Amino acid sequence: MALISGFRKHLNIESLLQRVKSGFEKIESPVQTREFTLTDNLISALAMFRLKYSSLLKFDQDSCQNNTIRANMERLFGVLKMPGDTAMREILDLLDPAQLRPIFKDLLAFVQRGKILEDYRYLNGAYLISINGTGVFRSESVHCDNCCQIKHRNGKVSYFHQLLAAVIVHPAQKQVIPLAPEPIQQQDGTNKFDCELRAIKRLIADLRREHPHMKIIVQLDGLYADGQVIELLRDFNMEYIIVAKRKKLTKLFEKLDAGSQVKQHEIIDKQNIRHQFRYLEDVSLNDSWDDLKVNLIEYREVDETGKVRYYNCWITALSVTPDTLERLMRAGRARWNVENETLNTLKNQGYHFEHNYGHGHKHLTTILAMIMCLAFLIDQIELRCCEEFQAALAKEKKLSYLRIRIRSLFTEFIVPNWQSLYHHIALGNDATPIYLPDTS
């Protein structure tokens, strides 16, 4: 079986983990301890998410009681001495979340050199970056200095943390490539939109600073169909495709309904599905932003019986013509895939995105959520690039089954390296043996 020959050697899990580890080593530790390095803490947290543990305490308990886990942590993750859960929480709580951003950037550059990113170019060589607010934690009692708060009418307070997640998507690609997320902070504002607006300002500025030459089309949901957001994107030389809602952009939809400047286009595909477009060009966003001109696209997907299967509207400044309409629509719909597949993947396929791994007093919740996103990025690259991982997946049929298998082998057998682990799953014990620990 020609697994090794086609293997993109530099993009296997060992090289990815090595890369992340050298990124972690560059971060200055907020406290000096003799027992554990900051890197041991960060890699252990990454291992916890990679092994899909739903709780830090459980991860700690298992590894304290199980020499095999500790041996495999050294072999597979390079952690010589595992920190306990309390020590890990204390040190990670003090870390500034922005210090993790360069690691995402470095992994993206690594992927770019492996020519993987080329497959994600869309519409004149640009990358579609989907940005979405995602809840990380919510509680009525547990909170920290940086929690966002909602005061309810009955006097109760809800505390929560949210991230703005940014992922590179492509209508024809199954995997997405997560970029560094931006935490939405308590100081950001008094209402949800204020908070998200300030967070998106930081995120857009960071993205442009980190990728100065990248052609970017940002996809956003209807909340962001706002003059301030569109101006911000223009200032940072980014294009946009934003969901347009009737309730928010009343004037724009009145013009569409009036029909005088409306153009129409229809595509009937091989399956007899009708893709119907109505669009307006160069119209004012709304009364407050009279000078800000956008194009509005209304889209319906109609099946053979005349039933509307999908409906959506978007605003964009990209050129809207019969030639570009379909590609713009596919780009707009790729965002729908992200919300329905990727975020569900995070929530349902073992990442436990909304679970509580510990709250801390300052940044712990955000740091752990960012490390979870990093684990997700590594998983996505591996899923796309590593033939040995793909062979193991083909054997186990489903990603969720493979994750369970990896974790059970990791906790029960001495595994020399990742490659042997995947070979063992794909080809069986005769081809690549792994060993029960010597308990004599």
Binding site for Zn ion (CB under 5 A): 144, 147
Structure tokens at 338: 């992200």
Closest distance to Zn ion from the beta carbon of 363 (Å): 9
Among 353, 352, 361, 379, residue whose Cα is nearest residue 92: 361
Q: Given the complex with Zn ion, which of 32 and 141 has the nearer CB atom?
A: 141
Q: What is the 3-state composition of the chain as percent helix, strand, coil, each rounded to the nearest 5?
A: 45, 20, 35
Q: Given the complex with Zn ion, which of 219 and 366 has the nearer CB atom?
A: 366
Q: Given the complex with Zn ion, which of 130 and 162 has the nearer CB atom?
A: 162
Q: How far apart are CA 86 and CA 315, in angstroms?
A: 48
CA distances for 410 relative to 71, 319, 417, angstroms: 10, 52, 10
Q: Given the complex with Zn ion, which of 73 and 144 has the nearer CB atom?
A: 144
Q: Given the complex with Zn ion, which of 23 and 360 has the nearer CB atom?
A: 360
Q: Given the complex with Zn ion, which of 144 and 338 has the nearer CB atom?
A: 144
Closest distance to Zn ion from the beta carbon of 221 (Å): 24
Closest distance to Zn ion from the beta carbon of 146 (Å): 5
Closest distance to Zn ion from the beta carbon of 160 (Å): 8
Q: Which helix (H) or strand (E) holds 202?
A: helix 192-210
Closest distance to Zn ion from the beta carbon of 372 (Å): 16
Inter-residue contact 218 to 246 (CB < 8 Å): no
Closest distance to Zn ion from the beta carbon of 362 (Å): 8
Closest distance to Zn ion from the beta carbon of 162 (Å): 11
Among 50, 43, 48, 21, residue whose Cα is nearest residue 421: 50
Residue 144 has φ and ψ, to the nearest 5°, of -140, -175
Beta strands in 269-378 (DSSP E): 274-284, 293-302, 308-316
Among 423, 435, 437, 322, residue whose Cα is nearest residue 13: 423
CA distances for 377 relative to 50, 176, 410, angstroms: 10, 8, 21
Torsion of CA 191, 193, 199, 203, to 10 degrees: 180
Q: Given the complex with Zn ion, which of 147 and 180 has the nearer CB atom?
A: 147
Q: Given the complex with Zn ion, which of 46 and 144 has the nearer CB atom?
A: 144
One DSSP character per residue, 23-87 reads: HHHTSPPSS--SS--HHHHHHHHHHHHHTT-S-HHHHHHHHHH-HHHHHHHHHHH--SSPPPHHH
Closest distance to Zn ion from the beta carbon of 137 (Å): 7
